[in-house]
Amino acid sequence: MSGIQLQQVTKQYREGSSIITALQEASITVNSGELAAIVGPSGSGKSTLLSIIGALIKPTSGNVMVNGQDVGALSPKQLANFRLNEIGFILQSSNLIPYLSVLDQLILINKMSGKSSKQDHQFAINLLTELGLGNKLTKMPHELSGGERQRVAISRALFNQPSVILADEPTASLDSKRAHEVVKLIAAEVKKRQKAAIMVTHDQRMLTYCDHVYHMEDGKLIPKVMQSSIIK
Ligand SMILES: Nc1ncnc2c1ncn2[C@@H]1O[C@H](COP(=O)(O)OP(=O)(O)O)[C@@H](O)[C@H]1O
Ligand SMILES: [Mg+2]
């Protein structure tokens, strides 16, 4: 089964003699082509959830399936491949490498995985052009606006053709107009390329672009009924 399925995932951190429960039996299913939003206060466990799905950290208990793979059962080598090939991360600040051009931000990751080709190069150009950056390919990050930098980050997340997109507050550093543009773009790409995507956001106005909304509180994930589905 493709997409993301989490069943009763718990994550505890040990801090000296005390234990912090960052996630408490969180369950969520996101199918290919769907964008789910998670809203909730700071410290409620949102980033922990994304880090577990992206296999950056291991849960204390529970089951994580991504694109039909049981993430908990992967070997260290399989995990490295999994992170590279199945997961695209978009973060709050775009985390672009300051001394690489827009095009190289995409191409370089691929070179590191040892398989850069002419087709990859063309795919990078096509992707950046589709995301409105066709005339910015040779620009450096400092020559771009905040919205453009996030569009590079989205292109970079899509470049390896992962099955999953994880966005952690991708609009936090953008003004309202750019925020709408960026989330619209994420939603459109998720549909078009049939990704399973989760976006953490503080911005209620972004929920209209999402297929599901969850509220996170004290590590518990609660599905929210959306206004639009009440009206329907
Ligand atoms: N590496 C860590 N070690 C100890 N505690 C952590 C660690 N990472 C996160 N936490 C704690 O887990 C809880 C959830 O954090 P986080 O997932 O970052 O929340 P959010 O993204 O919703 O702000 C918080 O209480 C945070 O302090
Ligand atoms: Mg966070």
Write out the DSSP string of 59-116: -SEEEEEETTEEGGG--HHHHHHHHHHHEEEE-SS----TTS-HHHHHHHHHHHTT--
- Pocket of ligand 1, candidates 11, 38, 48, 215: which has the most ligand atoms within 8 Å of its Cβ, to mutate? 48
Q: What does the mean pLDDT of the chain come to?
A: 92
Is 13 a residue whose pLDDT tops 70?
A: yes
Which residue CA neighbors atom 6 of ligand 1 most closely?
A: 13
Q: Is 18 in the pocket of ligand 1 (CB under 6 A)?
A: no
Span of 49-53, 63-67, 110-114, 115-119 with lowest mean pLDDT:
110-114
Band of residue 119 on the pLDDT scale cut at 50, 70, 90: confident
User: Which of residues 231 and 46 earns the better pLDDT score?
Assistant: 46
Ligand 1 atom closest to the CA of 219, numbered from 1: 14
Span of 48-57, 81-90, 103-112 with lowest mean pLDDT:
103-112
Is 169 a residue whose pLDDT tops 90?
A: yes
Contact 28, 36 (CB under 8 A): yes
Band of residue 232 on the pLDDT scale cut at 50, 70, 90: very low
What pLDDT sits at residue 150? 93
Per CATH, the number for 4-226 is 3.40.50.300
Write out the DSSP string of the chain: --SEEEEEEEEEEEETTEEEEEEEEEEEEE-TTEEEEEE--TTSSHHHHHHHHTTSS--SEEEEEETTEEGGG--HHHHHHHHHHHEEEE-SS----TTS-HHHHHHHHHHHTT---HHHHHHHHHHHHHTT-TT-TT--GGGS-HHHHHHHHHHHHHHT--SEEEEESTTTTS-HHHHHHHHHHHHHHHHHTT-EEEEE-S-GGGGGG-SEEEEEETTEEEEE--HHHHH-
Q: Render pLDDT for 32-62 as a digit per residue (tens, 0 to 9).
A: 999 999 999 999 999 999 999 999 999 999 9
Tell me, what DSSP letter sits at residue 206? G
Q: Render pLDDT for 188-229 as a digit per residue (tens, 0 to 9).
A: 999 999 999 999 998 999 999 999 999 999 999 999 876 555
- Report the C-alpha gap between 162 and 164 in whole angstroms: 5
What pLDDT sits at residue 228? 56
Which residue CA neighbors atom 14 of ligand 1 most closely?
A: 45
- Pocket of ligand 1, candidates 13, 58, 217: which has the most ligand atoms within 8 Å of its Cβ, to mutate? 13
What whole-number percentage of the chain has pLDDT above 70?
94
- Report the C-alpha gap between 216 and 169 in whole angstroms: 14
Is 98 a residue whose pLDDT tops 70?
A: yes
Q: How far, in Å, is the centroid of ligand 1 from the Cα of 64? A: 19
Q: How far, in Å, is the centroid of ligand 2 from the Cα of 49? A: 9
